[in-house]
A and B are shown apart, each in its own frame.
Chain A
Amino acid sequence: MGEAKVKVPLLEVHDLKKHFPIIKGFFNQVVGHVKAVDGVSFDLYEGECLGLVGESGSGKTTVGRTILRALAPTSGKVLFQHGDESVDVASASHDVLKKLRPHMQMIFQDPYASLNPRMTVLDLVGEPLLVNGVTDRKEREKRVQDLLVRVGLKPHFLRRYPHAFSGGQRQRIGIARALALHPKLVVCDEPVSALDVSVQAQALNLLQELQEELGLTYLFVAHDLSVVRHISDRVAVMYVGKIVELSPVDALYEKPMHPYTEALLSAVPVPDPKRKKKRLLLSGEVADPSNAPSGCGFHPRCAYAQERCKQEVPELREIEPGHFSRCHFTETLQLEGQADL
């Protein structure tokens, strides 16, 4: 997929870190840090969809938020291609950010919590327009109606409140709101995980249609590996604040290079009773990001771990063109994929 397009990185993320302080005691002493994002780097090309997967606590949501600077990063660079210049979102001033924000938007996970119940659809979807200078009420109404039609809702829903809509419809309102300012980059944070499967399919189709028509670039944060496979061009797998594998989508599912990816793929239940596969059971749980293991963060759960993994932190290395893995022994391991996931 990616080869056909001109490779212009819309977004370059360099060594992004986000550490949350752990504060304890009467004097609010900082006793440690939760290293939610601990050195993440990747490029996001214009028009592609990069899936970001991982278990809870892996830092995938924090990456999405930090890129948009909904959270201020601890360190690192987020270069966003704006016109001819590249702007560092991580260090941009308030004024610069305000100019950038229309170009980068977010779709949230929970369509029940992310819409203000006291605002009508017109106010909800019109708010970003109002903030960005569309002060004429008539024009705003017109544009909101167009947006509603665009996401498959009826234009006369304008004056209704969120409670009058089903989960799938609410998610469409969230999408309309994100698209109101014609963004280039949309961070989708688990956009379909709160939806039932039949509605989830509708929402995924809508996201794909919009991407093709409007040339959107998605950072698609999700934990559902089959959803990610369906929509993404490339996939990054995160584990305890770090990207452990980054690859074009098919290569990742068919021929994973990191032991964690292998185990993650193997754990997904497949809706096909004929395939009683042998499962790699990971022992233990996701490591604590405030007290990450030494060396490779995955070594306590890794079936292939050796002495070196406990001491040396592996680098994210490009093993094959475009296929990166953060494991000392990638070349020597024969890992199994799940091609039909």
Chain B
Amino acid sequence: MDSVLSIRGLKTHFFLDEGIVRAVDGVDLEIPRGKTIGIVGESGCGKSVTAFSSLRLVAEPGQIVAGDVVLHQENLDVVLTDLEDEGDQIRAIRGKEIAMIFQEPMTSLSPVHTVGFQIMEAVELHMDLTGSDAQAHAVHMLDRVGIPDPGQRFGQYPHELSGGMRQRVMIAMALSCQPSLLIADEPTTALDVTIQAQILELMRDLQVEFDMSIMLITHDLGVVAEVADEVAVMYLGRVVEQAATDEIFEHPKHPYTRALMDSIPGMGSVRKTRLKTIKGSVPDPFSQLSGCPFHPRCEEAKKGMCDVGERPELLVLEEGHQVACVLYHEEVARG
């Protein structure tokens, strides 16, 4: 598979006074070139930390303790995890090769600079453009993301824009240097459904135009079903299932993926009946469970199998469908 980014055995731990939080604990992920991969999971599963680790944006007390993140460029591979934290090399990649859009546009834009200035800053840093050329490019980007009257908006501050417009500005900024990978961390979670539909449509159009890969982090399975080509489901710091979107929605293999899909109202559930639930909640981040970390909540867990030993590894069941579940290991072992 032609990937733009390979994450192998990534572990990012946070060293707190109360103990170690293993936010990302052995993630393996290939981001296919020119496609959209959706990373799904509940809060605390490590999906955002995976993204931040890829960009080397993990702050103290967090630390990448193991694993590689490799960016595949045209004729060379850069191991991002080997680069210096604040060095020139990673800075040349952030924003240029890999750009990111965040969940809450209000808190991720500077309130004291105009949106135009903020877009120009990235453009002047990464593209060979200065002054009026950079400004023209920034206005062009604002226009491209569907902001009406971009010339005037260029001089406005984030607080003068609505939530949807701010997210468009974020997208304009992220795409201004034509990155090969866009990481979108819950890009539409703070938006209303009608605005969400607009932004998703825009991202789809721009993906084709700029020929970029998108890593879409979300908790909304509906969003993933609509825009992703491939889906990775995470639970407690690891990918537990990965497959093409159609495949995973039609034949979810991991009990967690199945339970997640069953607990959404409307997906075949009869109204006014009880929803299927996953018992308990995501365990305390300090705890370290033996065996499969999902076993206390899993309906199919078998005693003496799922609750002992190491975490199950990802197993390729069929071409392009990987699952980390003891039950399938058994099946395969039996032939």
Q: How far is the CA of A341 from the CA of B200 in the complex (A)?
A: 19
Question: How many A-B contacts if CB must be within 8 Å?
Answer: 127
Q: How far is the CA of A270 from the CA of B193 in the complex (A)?
A: 12
B225 near A201 with CB under 8 A, answer no
A282 near B198 with CB under 8 A, answer yes
Closest to A209 in B: B274
Q: How far is the CA of A14 from the CA of B273 in the complex (A)?
A: 33
B315 beta carbon closer than 8 Å to chain A: no
* Interface window among B64-72, B106-114, B275-283: B275-283
Given A56-B192, A198-B263, A273-B246, A282 contacting B197 (CB threshold 8 A): yes
B266 near A198 with CB under 8 A, answer no
Given A201-B275, A230-B275, A271 contacting B225 (CB threshold 8 A): yes
* Interface window among A37-45, A61-69, A176-184, A221-229: A221-229
B201 near A197 with CB under 8 A, answer no
B194 beta carbon closer than 8 Å to chain A: yes
**Interface readout for B173-200 with A: 1 if CB under 8 Å, 0 if not?**
0000000000000000000111111101
Closest to A200 in B: B263
Q: How far is the CA of A340 from the CA of B270 in the complex (A)?
A: 10
A205 near B277 with CB under 8 A, answer yes
A196 near B42 with CB under 8 A, answer yes
| Interface positions of A from 143 to 178, Cβ below 8 Å from B | 166-169
Shortest distance from the beta carbon of A206 to any chain B beta carbon, whole Å: 10
Shortest distance from the beta carbon of A157 to any chain B beta carbon, whole Å: 14
Complex contacts, B224 vs chain A, CB 8 Å? 271
Closest to B201 in A: A281
Shortest distance from the beta carbon of B36 to any chain A beta carbon, whole Å: 12
Q: How far is the CA of A272 from the CA of B165 in the complex (A)?
A: 28
Q: How far is the CA of A129 from the CA of B122 in the complex (A)?
A: 58
A229 near B193 with CB under 8 A, answer no
B261 near A230 with CB under 8 A, answer no
B271 beta carbon closer than 8 Å to chain A: yes
A226 partner, pick from B163, B219, B265, beta carbons under 8 A: B265
B192 near A223 with CB under 8 A, answer yes
Closest to A288 in B: B162
Complex contacts, A270 vs chain B, CB 8 Å? 222, 225-226, 266
| Interface positions of B from 206 to 224, Cβ below 8 Å from A | 219-224
Closest to A204 in B: B275
Q: How far is the CA of A167 from the CA of B282 in the complex (A)?
A: 10
Q: How far is the CA of A290 from the CA of B38 in the complex (A)?
A: 39
A225 partner, pick from B193, B261, B264, B271, beta carbons under 8 A: B193
Complex contacts, A56 vs chain B, CB 8 Å? 163, 192
A274 beta carbon closer than 8 Å to chain B: yes
Q: How far is the CA of A156 from the CA of B196 in the complex (A)?
A: 43
Q: How far is the CA of A227 from the CA of B276 in the complex (A)?
A: 14
Q: How far is the CA of A22 from the CA of B200 in the complex (A)?
A: 34
Closest to B271 in A: A230
Complex contacts, B282 vs chain A, CB 8 Å? 166, 196
Given A205-B277, A268-B193, A282-B198, A197 contacting B164 (CB threshold 8 A): no
**Interface readout for A252-292 with B: 1 if CB under 8 Å, 0 if not?**
00000000000110111111111010010110011000000
A249 beta carbon closer than 8 Å to chain B: yes
Q: How far is the CA of A225 from the CA of B275 in the complex (A)?
A: 16
Given A229-B266, A267-B196, A271-B222, A201 contacting B201 (CB threshold 8 A): no
**Interface readout for A78-92 with B: 1 if CB under 8 Å, 0 if not?**
000000000000000
Q: How far is the CA of A202 from the CA of B259 in the complex (A)?
A: 12
Shortest distance from the beta carbon of B289 to any chain A beta carbon, whole Å: 16
B263 near A197 with CB under 8 A, answer yes
A279 near B249 with CB under 8 A, answer no
A97 beta carbon closer than 8 Å to chain B: no
Closest to A192 in B: B265
B269 beta carbon closer than 8 Å to chain A: yes
Shortest distance from the beta carbon of B257 to any chain A beta carbon, whole Å: 11
| Interface positions of B from 238 to 282, Cβ below 8 Å from A | 245-246, 249-250, 259-261, 263-267, 269, 271-272, 274-278, 281-282
B264 near A271 with CB under 8 A, answer yes
Complex contacts, A266 vs chain B, CB 8 Å? 197
A249 near B281 with CB under 8 A, answer no
Q: How far is the CA of A341 from the CA of B278 in the complex (A)?
A: 21
B259 near A230 with CB under 8 A, answer no
A204 partner, pick from B196, B225, B265, beta carbons under 8 A: B265
Q: How far is the CA of A340 from the CA of B266 in the complex (A)?
A: 7
Complex contacts, A250 vs chain B, CB 8 Å? 271
B162 near A202 with CB under 8 A, answer no
B43 beta carbon closer than 8 Å to chain A: yes
| Interface positions of A from 202 to 221, Cβ below 8 Å from B | 202, 204-205, 208
Closest to A270 in B: B222
Shortest distance from the beta carbon of B206 to any chain A beta carbon, whole Å: 15
Complex contacts, A190 vs chain B, CB 8 Å? none
Instruction: Show 27 residue pairs from A and B whose CB-CB distance is below 8 angstroms, ordered by the A residue.
Output: A1-B272, A55-B195, A167-B43, A196-B43, A196-B281, A197-B219, A198-B277, A201-B275, A204-B265, A204-B275, A205-B274, A208-B274, A223-B192, A223-B193, A226-B264, A230-B272, A231-B272, A249-B271, A264-B194, A266-B197, A269-B197, A269-B220, A271-B261, A272-B249, A273-B226, A276-B226, A286-B194
Please name 19 further chain A to chain B contacts, defined as beta carbons within 8 Å, in addition to the given A56-B192, A196-B43, sorted by A numbering: A198-B42, A198-B277, A201-B264, A201-B276, A201-B277, A205-B274, A229-B265, A230-B272, A231-B265, A268-B222, A269-B222, A270-B222, A271-B224, A272-B267, A273-B246, A273-B249, A281-B197, A282-B197, A341-B266
Closest 8 CB pairs of A and B: A269-B222, A230-B265, A226-B266, A201-B263, A198-B278, A55-B192, A196-B42, A267-B197
